[in-house]
Every structure is written in C-alpha cells, then in structure tokens.
Amino acid sequence: MATKRVQFSHSPIPYLFIVPQLAIIAVFFFWPALQALYLSFMLEDPWGLSSQFVGFENYVELFSSSEYLSTFAFTLLYSSIVTVFSLGVALVLAVKANAILRGQSTYQLLLTWVYAIAPAAAGIMAYFIFNRNIGVVPEFLNSFGWDFRPDTNSFDATAMVILVSVWKQVPVNFVFFLAGLNSISKSVREAAQMDCESDSRRFWTITFPLLAPTAFFLLVINITYAFFETFGLIDTLTQGRPGGSTTTLVYKVYQDGFIGADLGLSSAQSVVLMLLVLLLTFVQFKFIERKVHY
Amino acid sequence: MKKQIFRSIAFLGMFSSAAMATTSIEWWHGMGGNLGETVNKMAEEFNASQSDYRVVPIYKGTYEETMTAGISAFRAGEAPHIIQIFDAGAATLMNAKGAAKSVQEIMIENGYGFDIEDYVPGVRYFYGDDKGNMIGMPFNASTPVLYYNKELLAKAGVQPPKTWEEFEGIAKKLKAKGIAAFSQSHTPWIFFENFHSRHNIMMTDQNNGFSGLPKKLNYNNKHLAMHLTKMKEWKDKGYYNYYGSNWGDNQTPFEKQEVAMWFGSSGSFGGLKKSTDFDFGTTYLPYWNSVNKDAGTTFIGGAALFSMAGHSKAEYKAVAAFFDYMTKPETQYFWHKETGYVPITTAAYELAKKDGYYKANPDAEVGILQLSLDGGEWTKGYRMGFYPQTRESIYREIDRVMSDKTSVDNALKAIVKDGEKNLSRFARTVK
Amino acid sequence: MRQEKLFDHAILWVGVVFLLFPVWLLFASSTHTTETIIKEGLQFLPGGEGFGAYATALTSSIGGTEIATGLRMTINSLIMGIGFAVGKIVIAMCAAYTLVYFRIPMANFLFWIIFSTLLLPLEVRIVPSYEVVSQLGLLNSYTGLILPLIASATATFYFQQFFKTVPEELLEAAQLDNANAFKFFIDILVPLSKTMMAAMFIIMFVVGWNQYLWPIMMTTEEAYYTIVMGIKNVLSVVREGRIPEYNVAFAMIILAMLPPVAVVILFQRWFIQGLVESEK
C-alpha cells in the first residue's frame, strides 16, 4: 500500500484534501469518458436534436472502412519510425555528451530547449520551411534531384511529418538517456574500462544493457507521443493530406467528429483509442518490466 | 443568459453613449484577410447607422471551422444569432428541424416584407426549402470562373477556351512555349458539383435532394469519369499543374505566373487585383461540347447567413434589421465591388450597371452573368447531408488519382461509397 | 584519444545545429521585409528591419478582429500556463498528502481511480469533454480552459512518490494530532517540497502553454484565444491563397515559442529534474 506507517488517525480532514482532485476527475474525466462510450453506440444528428441507439453499428462501420484500417496501419508505422529514430538520435547524442568531460551542461542546455516548443508551433514552422514558394528545404532537395512535393506526394509528406516529429521528440529522450548514463555508477564504468579496451564493445556489452530499462520506458513515452501529442503538428503541417496518407487515429477522431459532425462514429474511434492505450499500458506492466532486469 | 448580461454591461461601459435599449447580436463568419476587413466595415457601418442594434462580427476560421464552432455552440445552448454556413454544409443545417430560423420568416415577422423575386435567379433557391422559402440569406455568393493571364496567352497566340475541346488545342500551344496551362483550387466544388450544374447532370436522387432525403449519389457517371480521366491525362502532359488540395497552394502559381490560367472563385477577384501585377481576364467555366452543347448556369458557391433558433424576439428584430441592411442595394454593391462576390439582388445588380462599374471592369460581371445563364432540371442546387465529409473523400481520392495511387474508376467508386454512406447515415438522423 | 573527443564534439554540434536551425531560420526571416521573403524565400541571416515585426505582432492580430492581438493572446497563454501549473500542483499535493499520510477507507480504490486517469489522454475524450464543459456553462472562460486539463494525475503521483521519501521522523517529531494536520502540511511539507514544486511548475507551465486542440475547441471568443492556437490563423491565411505579412507571422510564431523556451533555459536544472521525475 502506498501510505506511510506513521499516519494521522481517522478524521474528516483527509477527505477535504483529496476531494478537489476526485471531483475534477469525476467531472472532467469519468463523465466524458463514459459519455464517449455511450455516444459510440448512438447515431446522433449534428445539432443534438435527435439520437438513436444503434448497437455496434459504429464499430462495424469503422472496421469495415478501408480508410480507417489504412489510418490504423499508418499510425502504427509512423509511431514506430518516429520512436526508433528519435530514440536512436537521442542515444547517440547522450552517449557523446556523457563521454566528454567539460561542457556537458552546456550541451544539455543546447539539446533540450526544443522540448518547450508546442507541437503545433513546430508544425507551422515546418510548414514554412518546407513550403515550395518560400521554404528552403524543397530547393535543397531539388538540387539533389529529389522532386520534393509534400503537397501531392504521400511519401514526401510522410517523410516530412516524421522528420519534424523526431526533431520535436529528441530532447526528451536525450534527457532520459543522459540521466540514465550518469546514474551508471563511476565504479561500474571504471571496471568496464579495465575489462574492455574497445569503446563500442564496452558500450554494447555493459552500458547498453544498463540503459535498457530507460529505453523500454522511453518506448512507451514515444509511442504515446506519436499517437496523441502529434495532433497539433499534423493539423498545422499536412492536415492528414495528401490522400489521407498522413492521417493518424487521433487526427481522424477530430476530422470525423468535428469537420464531419458525426459524433457516433467519432466516439467509437475514441473508444478504440482508449482500448489501445489500455493495451499499451498492460504490455508495459506485464511484459516489458518483467523482461528488463533492473 | 448571465453572460449576455455581462456582455451588455461591458458594452455599456465601453460605449456609454449607447442607449440602454441596444440589442447586441453576434455574427460568426469565416471571412479572413481582405474579406474579413470588409465584413468588419459593413458591421461598423450598420452599427453607426442606427442606435437600436449592434452587430458584433466574429471571425471563426475557415468555413469548416465556423460551422463546427456553430454546431458545438448550438449543442451547448450558446448559438450565435447569425452564422455563415458554406454551400456544402447548408444541407446539414437546413434538414435539422429546429436548428435554424428561416430568413424569410424573420423578415416577415418583423415587418420588413420579403419577396423572393427580388433576388437574382441563380441564388434564389439555393438556400431554400422544398416549398421555395428562403432559409439562409445568400450573403457571399460566388461561382467558379476561369482567370487567365493575358500576357502568357498572347505569347502562345491563344484566347481563353470556351469549351474543354478548345482547351486541349490551347494547352498544347502553351506547352510548346513552355507554359503550363492551368491550376485549380477546389476540385469538389469546381469539377464535381459545378461540372454537374454546367452540363445539367443529376447529382442525387430526390431531385438533387430538394424533394426529400437522397440516398444515391450519381458521381460515378461516364461524363465525370471522362472529365477526370482527361484531367489526369492533362496533368501527365504538363497542361495541368496539381498542387494538392489546398486552395492557396493552387492559387499562388497563377499569381507567380507559373501557370497561364486558374480556376477559382468569382469572389477571388478583389484579392487577385491586389496580389497580382499583371493583366488578367475572367471568363466562364469551360464545358464539354460533347456532353452538353447547350451548357448553362453554374451553382452559387460561397456561403449564406443563417439565423440560429432559440433567441429572443428582440434579438430576431435586430437580426431582421441587419439582414435588411445587408440586402440594401448600396450594401450589396459595396460588397460586390470590394470582393468580387456577386450581387444577390436584382436591384444591387442594376445599381452596379447604372454606376458604370461593369463598363470599367467587365471582368467583374462574369460571375453574375454565368449565374444568369439558362438553367435546367439539375441546376437549382443540391442538398446533401454530411456533405463536407464527402468533399473530404473527393479531395483524398483526387490526391490519389493525381499521384497514380488509384484509377479514376476506383476513385469514383470510393467517393460514391463514402458519399452514400454519409447520405444514409444522415437520413437516419433526420426526424 | 584527442581526435575521438573532437569527433564527439562534432556529433554533438550536428545535433545542436539540427535542433536550432529551423527556429533560427524563422527568426532571421522575421527581421526582413515581407517583400524580401516573397522574392527570395526564407533568410539565413538577420535583416535590417530589427524587431519591428515583433511590435506589430504584439499589437495586431492575424486573421481575426483586433481583439486577439499578439499581446492579448500571450497574456491568455500565460494565464493558461500558470493557472494550469498552479492548479495542478495545489490539487496534486493535497491529494498526495491524503494518500500518503492518512489511513482512509477505500484508499486503495481511490488510488486506482486517480491512477486510471493517466491512461486516457484528453485527446481521446475530447468531444464529450467539450459537452461537459458546455453543460457547465464554462465555454469561453479560463476555468473551462484549465480545469479539464488538470483531470490527469501525473503530478499527484509525482508528489506521492516524493512524500514517501520524506523522513518519517519528521512526522513523529511533530507529534501531530488532527488539529495540526493543516499545520504539518503548510509548515513542514510545503517548504520541504519547494524544489519539487518548482520543477513540476516548469514542466506543467510548458504543457499548459502548449495546449492546442483543447483551446481550439473550447474558445469561440477571440478574447480567449491563446497564442499557440492563434498562430493557426497564419495558416488559414496562407491556405486560402492570401499572402500574410510574413515577417509579422514569423514574429508571432517566435513569440508563441519564446516564453516556454525561456523558462526551460533559465531554469534548466529544475526542468531536467521535473521532466525526469514527472514522466517516471
């Protein structure tokens, strides 16, 4: 149990302290979550004037729609690529930052500030940098013979969204990797230095396994990021285009629910997302934490 | 309610000279930039012209975002008094019994009188119900037209095309001079909806949705398939430059003289005048002689002003006064001149003519002339529920056609499948 | 060995430039005229216009009426960021206090209730959240902007973990009874948590400031626009085929980034601590 051994005895005071939190959770978390569940079984007109129970129809509609399934596939692909790249880049930077003696804190500063930029602001910024009229990237890529057209070419658009998403996520991973590396005690490192002469062998046989818990924990953080937090980035950068090729599941909830005004269908998508998050959490608890030795 | 009181108090504080009886109404719109400034000017002028009512224009982003905001607000019981709803979204509003209050009704109830014959034929019934009552006031009515760069066309020694058959020859000559013929800014509007109007082809059952809730979407017809196949062919030949689904991405190349012609809205006229420094002309949307040699009118696009249900009598009185002001020939003429949107009343059109506006700017008349062309059975308008979503499907599939990800046939099948799903889901929500 | 070090530094600098480059490009361009940007594209070096575009950005709005000026939106974002951070810290500390120091019935159950909020981000319940807020009449209010975001319990767990590390001798020494429960909290726990609170504040401020989807949905009055959602109007302008005042637009985007970035840089140590602790 999470409580301390020495505690105040029973009185109304503890309730006073915890009630605000519980009230907010009840009103702004459970009520909406249950309502999403309820709406997912309904067919409602946009203005909320009429509503009818339709059972699992919205779910059947979803999973028989090839659009939804391809959005699903894209989201999985996109989040894996973003995760792999942003973890990879951050790991390299963290290892290098850890290796140098002087100026580590300066590098930490210079490599983490991007964390504070809103995904939506990053998306707008990227929109201009990748813009074919004023941006610098298309010109640069054209000079290599890459006819870069994110407005019409789905590969180019996907590459662009992934690059910007990685840019935004590297700092978080860097902070955790560096913290992880710093916490590997000096004695372990010194012992390792004596045992293996080769830097890369030392990294793969000793440092990397010790970083594994951090990496697995970051895996979940990054997948969550790619699923949910990239909404603003996608809305400003591509709006899920071209041809729906950069539409993530969360973006589709927004499109169908807001632009489309189809609340039932959109709520069913929300519920599917909730189940996905639950699954992710379950995996995190049951499998990953067990496999990794702390 | 409480908020309304606070708001009035705030206003009283700000405008202490205003009388206690001022009724304030909100007008949500999707007009940004130059258009937004013109909207603000009109509201200011209305507010200055009398002291009983005060209209507050609020910019809500794009048409889609404005509509979304309106839906959310209505559900929350906070609907604005007036909201601008775009062509594709109108059916979603007009079919919902009790969401909007008919303009015609508001005008009559408040003693302003209303004669639908005052309105230009092309715009009269587009936002009307099956009995011919006007529900929404066609505020910013536009229609797709062809803009052409005179200098670039002269270079190739060609005139703007009247028909698509002519176009092919012209595009070839332009191409020979290294000039791409055209870009266009709104595939669903220009090449789906107005393609059917211009050629007088049915869009849906139930009389394009005017006599009931439609279930069948007619987009998978051989004429449209032919046209889209041609578009793809033109793109591959370098006649047609495709810049994706955003309006601006396709307009900019025309402004930068990267393409010789551009299909846009008659409402783009005012903006183009400011953003270009070359001589451009305006003409009708081309048609296929092989499909209908007597091609006629197009649909009006743009948006209409709807009054949301659930407000007080005094507030509707203010709405009526404002609508009365908005339909005055002088107001309409001002709006027409500033933006290029067509005048919606015959009186305003006459005023523009009398003023010699079209003598000086013959291009500004193209939109209204096109809307005054002969109509047919299928040119009155269309009424499709959840249609903004169907438009998204069109954008998506055309993106795919243009990048060789799908065929025209499969794209049309997918669009019809999505569109009919939207129609049938919507039909079931209407009680 | 020396060469290796140089190589390490080189890699790190590649990373630094990769992160800095896009923001620099936008900043440099914001000090040029719109005409230069239209003709020559984004600029790598600062121009001769100085910070004029920033003054314009603060006093004008993009797209909307003049209510949502850059300054107004910045103030709204500050209210949102600070309100969210303070609200969350206060509520979380109180709840964590109860969970750690009191034996109450169903404590286990409450723990899991609070814990479950970590599972579902606001994005997946956003439509019904909007309905709830509107039913409560909180649309277009700071309360409505902030409260639903506080509903997740990240900070609660963070403080719960921290309180557990507070030496028990303190509580024993205090010899407290129920009457002194407030006193213990205010006089002992709060001062002890200062660093923790600061660290959490930095993170939560950034999270609150950067909200995008929620303010878009919930604010229908320009007076409540935040700057992160407000800069979206720049895109509406471009997407509708109009040419924005590029330098002002870029200045606005930089303004939207500046405060959270400044906070993270100035309070780097707390930021790192907060980040590492809050995500655990």
Length of chain A: 294
CA distance C145 to chain B (A): 15
Same fold, B2-142+300-363 and B144-298+385-429: yes
Contact state of C134 with B77 under an 8 Å Cβ cutoff: yes
Contacts of A166 in chain C (CB under 8 A): none
What is the H or E stretch that residue C34 is in?
A: helix C34-40
Burial B52-88 (b: 16+ CB within 10 A, else e): ebbbbbbbbbbbbbbbbbbbbbbbbebbbbbbbbbbb
Return mean pLDDT, chain A. 88
From the candidates B7, B58, B269, B277, which should be mutated to test the interface with C, based on the most C CB atoms within 10 A? B58
Query: Which of the four CATH numbers 1.10.287.1040, 1.10.260.40, 1.10.3720.10, 3.50.50.60 does domain A59-291 have?
Result: 1.10.3720.10
Task: Give me the residue from A47, A50, A152 closest to B244, CB to CB.
Answer: A152
Q: What confidence score (pLDDT) does residue A289 get?
A: 55
CATH code for the domain defined by B2-142+300-363: 3.40.190.10
In this structure, the strands spanning B137-142 and B100-101 are: unpaired
CA distance B217 to B255: 36
CA distance C130 to chain B (A): 8
Q: Name the C residues in 125-144 with CB < 8 Å from any B CB.
A: 130-131, 134-135, 137, 139-140
Residues with Cβ within 8 Å of residue C82, at least 6 apart in sequence: C205, C208
CA distance C161 to A173: 22
CA distance C43 to chain B (A): 20
Q: What number is the average pLDDT over the span C46-70?
A: 85
Nearest CA in chain C to B268: C241
According to DSSP H, which parts of chain A are helical?
13-25, 31-39, 57-63, 66-99, 104-112, 119-129, 137-142, 154-183, 186-195, 199-202, 208-224, 231-237, 249-254, 263-283, 289-291
Structure tokens at C278: 């809050």
Domain coordinates in residue numbering, chain A: 13-53, 59-291
CA distance C252 to C72: 12
Q: How confident is the model at residue A197 (pLDDT cuts 50, 70, 90)?
A: low
Nearest C-alpha neighbor of B75 from the set C133, A26, C141, C149 = C133
Residues with Cβ within 8 Å of residue A65, at least 6 apart in sequence: none
Contact state of B425 with A43 under an 8 Å Cβ cutoff: yes
In this structure, the strands spanning B100-101 and A51-53 are: unpaired
Q: Which residue has the tokens 């660290």?
A: C199
Low-confidence ranges of chain B (pLDDT < 70): 1-20
Q: What three-state secondary structure class fits B26? A: strand
* Residues A48-102: tens digit of each pLDDT: 898 999 999 999 999 999 999 999 999 999 999 999 999 999 999 999 998 887 8
Q: What confidence score (pLDDT) does residue B19 get?
A: 45
Q: Which CATH class is domain B144-298+385-429?
A: alpha beta
All domains of chain C, ordered by start, with CATH? 79-226+258-279 (1.10.3720.10)
CA distance C181 to C166: 16
pLDDT exceeds cutoff 60 at A272: yes
CA distance B98 to chain C (A): 20
Nearest CA in chain B to A154: B403
Contact state of C242 with B34 under an 8 Å Cβ cutoff: yes
Task: Give me the residue from A2, A25, A121 closest to C99, CB to CB.
Answer: A2
Q: What confidence score (pLDDT) does residue B225 get?
A: 98
pLDDT exceeds cutoff 80 at C249: yes
Amino acid identity of residue B190, one-letter, is: I
Nearest CA in chain B to A243: B396
Q: What confidence score (pLDDT) does residue B395 get?
A: 96
Q: What three-state secondary structure class fits B163? A: strand
User: What is the distance, to the nearest Å, from the Cα of residue A132 to the centroid of all Cα atoms in its chain?
Assistant: 28
CA distance C226 to chain B (A): 14
Domain coordinates in residue numbering, chain B: 2-142+300-363, 144-298+385-429
Q: What confidence score (pLDDT) does residue C171 get?
A: 74
B430 interface with A at CB cutoff 8 Å: yes
With vertex at residue C116, the alpha carbon angle to CA C110 and CA C117, rounded to the nearest 5 degrees, is 105
Q: Name the B residues in 81-110 with CB < 8 Å from any A CB.
A: 92-93, 96-99
Contact state of B96 with A46 under an 8 Å Cβ cutoff: yes
pLDDT exceeds cutoff 80 at A198: no
Nearest CA in chain A to C126: A32
Beta-carbon contacts below 8 Å between A and B: 96
pLDDT exceeds cutoff 70 at C244: yes
Q: Which residue has the tokens 């799908």?
A: B406
Task: Give me the residue from B57, B76, B246 closest to C239, CB to CB.
Answer: B246
B contact chains, 3+ CB pairs < 8 A: A, C
CA distance C96 to C91: 9
As to burial, measured by CB atoms within 10 angstroms (0-12 exposed, 13-18 middle, 19+ buried), residue A90 is buried
Contacts of A242 in chain B (CB under 8 A): 244-245, 399-400, 403
CA distance A79 to A172: 16
CA distance B194 to B203: 10
Amino acid identity of residue A44, one-letter, is: E
Contact state of C238 with B248 under an 8 Å Cβ cutoff: yes
Residues with Cβ within 8 Å of residue C239, at least 6 apart in sequence: B62, B246, B247, B248, B249
* Residues C201-241: tens digit of each pLDDT: 999 999 999 999 899 888 877 889 999 988 888 888 888 77
Q: How confident is the model at residue A1 (pLDDT cuts 50, 70, 90)?
A: very low
CA distance C127 to C214: 10
